[in-house]
Amino acid sequence: MTVTTVADSGSSAPTIASSPRFWRRLLRRKLAVGCLAFLAVIIGIAIVAPIVMPDVSGQFAGDLLGARQGPSSAHWLGTDSLGRDVLERLLVGTRITMVGVAEALVAVLLLGVPIGLVAGYLGGKADRVVSWLADLTFSMPSIIIILVVLSVFPQNMAAAMVTLGVIAAPGLMRIVRSATLPVREELYVAAAQVSGLSRRYIIFRHVLPRIAGPIIVQSSLLAAVALLVQSGLAFLSLVVPAPEPSWGGMVADGVQTIVLQPWLIWPPGIVIALTILAFGLLGDVVRDATAEGWSTTVTRRKKRRVATRQAVSSDDKALLSIENLSVVFDTRSGPVPILDDVNLTVRPGETVGLVGESGCGKTITAMAVLGLLPGTGRIAAGRIRFNGQDLSALSDKELERVRGSQIGLISQEPMISLNPVFRVGWQLTQAVRTHHPELSRRQAKRRAVELLRLVHLPDPERVARRYPHELSGGMAQRIAIARALAGNPKLLIADEPTTALDVTVQAEILDLLRELQRTEDMAILLVTHDWGVAADLCDRAVVMYAGQVVEQAGISPIVYEPRHPYTEALLAANPHAHEMDGDDKTLPAILGMVPKPGEWPVGCHFRPRCGYAIPECAESAIPLAIPAAGHETRCIHKDFLER
């Protein structure tokens, strides 16, 4: 026999089982009330019966002439093989049976709960050692060990039941550990740490009450197992010496006389079966009540998650705040999701890089901010707050006023964005007048030349007289930047601004952007697939994959300690890193392709290409985790979360 525990019995459901709400939920269930009432009666009998009937325990024999009688008015449940009253022995025998159950439970709780709590809360080595010990104990044959203990301590029920508890403890440890993991990430636990409370205090006062639900479920199920084991050992006369009555011993008596009086097996058999059933069913209903609480807790946790996320990826000072943004493209076969729950923020004066392979949704994110979604694209959920206003709620006209004057855009193809039939100066002057209608034509012209000087174009007056086809790529990009600056924007969206340029010009444009950001006090949202560019320019990076933000953090942590396999793979495939290393080996590529919108896999979108994928990655949508302050990752992989 192996002592098993139900590993999923609400282990992941951090509910406050000690709260009145939990008890209200539990007591709404008739089955729970029935089980609790039944067990209360059994415990009451265990306490009272030996006091009321003190002689029964030591009674070796009763009326031998009236032995093996069926139920009668004198003996409601009949008499046993030695003429003793079955009902009296059943009632008095309740105590020793329940004491056996209690001994096993105390042992399992004393070992399983604290060790599981410490392993879950501390993690790392402590966790690994506990898991290893748990695995070791699982492979041990429990009943053999109990029999060995009984050979050393004959007829010692306490020794046998405590051994059972010790053997069952690793199962409870695991459940407590996994229930502790999400609780330790809660904000209030972090707040308790910050306020200097001791670990012991936090574990037992903050974490333990939150995981009481799974512990109650397990205790109930373990009580059923303990009762079965105690009855079995008593049946074999291994733990309760005669003439002490016990339920298991009474079953043994009934078995011996089964031919002469089959009735004797029924009373103890029924009571054992009903009590095991009550423990088992109570475990079930507690789990249901916990799960019901969990579904509401999930909603609350979701909100908390958002709150936590906002603590990382957004704050009140944010200039741009994209919150839970989902974008779809309407097609004949229905809406196709392009962006899924995108969250990111840009603070004033900050440069944030939006990194990812082609087709991940970087440009669509930028276009959504500008209210310029192409084709049938539309915002399906979420909002975009910019400088205190909700952009997603603005009309086209209102958005036009924001675009350019408050948010500027430079794109990958500056040449295409300039009208080939008008001189550069004229186009710039128009841009200045659009954003500053108060300026005269002459003043606007002067401002246009100033802008050309600002972007370090030599001889700006002459450049102003040129047509776009007379410009080089680098010059065209500088002019595009100058035009984006015409409205003195607070935020510049730069969509792959250097991709079409040669390397030296790329470096000049990046220098220019860095300088402008400082002098013009402008935030930049830089869309790029190039880590070199992101590392050169950005304070923070947001990594996108298949319509989702999969990781975001400060540029150093994300480059040196990526917490998502996609970021790690993207960094490994970065040609700049290899150039810097002098590494002439083949550049590692990420196998496979970014899945098309509408073909995203269930669970983690990166799973089919991920070398670390485990079955859980395919189960459901991966929530954002916060492995370190200011760092978010959409990965459940332990190796990445615990780096």
- From 126-134, 227-235, 303-311, 359-367, span contacting ligand ATP (CB under 6 A): 359-367
CB 491 within 8 A of CB 320: yes
Q: Is 468 near ligand ATP (CB under 6 A)?
A: no
Nearer to ligand ATP, 334 or 374 (CB): 374
Q: Is 358 near ligand ATP (CB under 6 A)?
A: yes
Total Cβ atoms within 10 A of residue 337: 19
Q: CA 399, CA 202: separation in Å to the nearest integer?
A: 49
Total Cβ atoms within 10 A of residue 199: 12
DSSP string covering 234-286? HHTTSSS-TTS--HHHHHHHHHHTTTT-GGGGHHHHHHHHHHHHHHHHHHHHH
Binder of ligand ATP out of 596, 599, 602, 642 (CB under 6 A): 596
Nearer to ligand ATP, 249 or 356 (CB): 356
- From 53-61, 90-98, 105-113, 357-365, span contacting ligand ATP (CB under 6 A): 357-365
Nearer to ligand ATP, 86 or 338 (CB): 338
Q: Is 338 near ligand ATP (CB under 6 A)?
A: yes
Q: Is 337 near ligand ATP (CB under 6 A)?
A: no
Q: CA 242, CA 84: separation in Å to the nearest integer?
A: 13
Q: For ligand ATP, what does the binding mask look like between residues 275 and 314, x meaning CB under 6 A?
A: ----------------------------------------
- From 51-59, 305-313, 351-359, 484-492, span contacting ligand ATP (CB under 6 A): 351-359
In order of 104, 159, 282, the CA distances from 269 in angstroms are: 21, 25, 20
Binder of ligand ATP out of 337, 359, 460, 565 (CB under 6 A): 359
- From 152-160, 236-244, 358-366, 455-463, span contacting ligand ATP (CB under 6 A): 358-366
Nearer to ligand ATP, 50 or 547 (CB): 547
DSSP-based three-state secondary structure for 452? helix
Nearer to ligand ATP, 192 or 542 (CB): 542
Q: Is 605 near ligand ATP (CB under 6 A)?
A: no
Nearest residue to the partner ligand ATP, using Cβ: 363
* Nearest CA-CA partner of 506 in 548, 537, 484: 537
Among positions 170-189, residues that touch ligand ATP (CB under 6 A) are none
Beta bridge pairs of residue 403: 407
What's the angle, vertex CA 478, arms to CA 472 and CA 481, rounded to 5? Answer: 140
Beta bridge pairs of residue 222: none
Q: Is 329 near ligand ATP (CB under 6 A)?
A: yes
The CA-to-CA distance between both ends of the chain, in Å, stands at: 39
Nearer to ligand ATP, 289 or 544 (CB): 544
Nearer to ligand ATP, 247 or 606 (CB): 606
Binder of ligand ATP out of 363, 392, 411, 427 (CB under 6 A): 363
Reported as type and span, the H/E element at residue 294 is: helix 266-313
What is the Rg, in whole angstroms, of the alpha carbon atoms belonging to the chain? 36
Among positions 516-575, residues that touch ligand ATP (CB under 6 A) are 529
Residue 374 C-beta: closest distance to ligand ATP, Å: 4
Q: Is 375 near ligand ATP (CB under 6 A)?
A: yes
Residue 545 C-beta: closest distance to ligand ATP, Å: 9
Q: Is 600 near ligand ATP (CB under 6 A)?
A: no
Nearer to ligand ATP, 401 or 529 (CB): 529
- From 9-17, 47-55, 316-324, 354-362, span contacting ligand ATP (CB under 6 A): 354-362
Residue 367 — φ and ψ, nearest 5°? -65, -35
Total Cβ atoms within 10 A of residue 328: 21
Residue 529 C-beta: closest distance to ligand ATP, Å: 6
- From 59-67, 304-312, 353-361, 390-398, span contacting ligand ATP (CB under 6 A): 353-361
Total Cβ atoms within 10 A of residue 192: 18
Nearer to ligand ATP, 58 or 375 (CB): 375
Cα 193 → chain centroid: 20
Residue 413 C-beta: closest distance to ligand ATP, Å: 11
DSSP-based three-state secondary structure for 380? strand
Q: Is 361 near ligand ATP (CB under 6 A)?
A: yes
CB 207 within 8 A of CB 13: no
Q: Is 353 near ligand ATP (CB under 6 A)?
A: no
Binder of ligand ATP out of 206, 362, 478, 631 (CB under 6 A): 362
* Nearest CA-CA partner of 339 in 605, 625, 603, 569: 605
Nearer to ligand ATP, 564 or 637 (CB): 564
- From 19-27, 207-215, 362-370, 396-404, span contacting ligand ATP (CB under 6 A): 362-370
Which segments of 561-633 does DSSP mark as H helices, in order? 565-572, 575-581
**580's torsion region: left (phi>0), alpha (psi -120 to 50) or beta?**
alpha
Q: Is 597 near ligand ATP (CB under 6 A)?
A: yes
Under rule CB under 6 A, how many of the chain's residues touch ligand ATP?
15
Tokens of 378: 């539309």
CB 426 within 8 A of CB 445: no
| Sequence-ordered list of residues with C-beta below 8 angstroms from that of 182, at least 6 positions apart, any chain | 12, 14
- From 227-235, 278-286, 360-368, 549-557, span contacting ligand ATP (CB under 6 A): 360-368
Q: CA 4, CA 171: separation in Å to the nearest integer?
A: 7
**349's torsion region: left (phi>0), alpha (psi -120 to 50) or beta?**
left
Q: Is 360 near ligand ATP (CB under 6 A)?
A: yes
Nearer to ligand ATP, 25 or 607 (CB): 607
CB 150 within 8 A of CB 159: yes
Q: Is 364 near ligand ATP (CB under 6 A)?
A: yes
C-alpha neighbours within 13 Å on the C-beta side of residue 613:
16
Q: CA 247, CA 222: separation in Å to the nearest integer?
A: 18
Catalog residues that contact ligand ATP under the rule CB under 6 A: 329, 338, 356, 358-364, 374-375, 529, 596-597
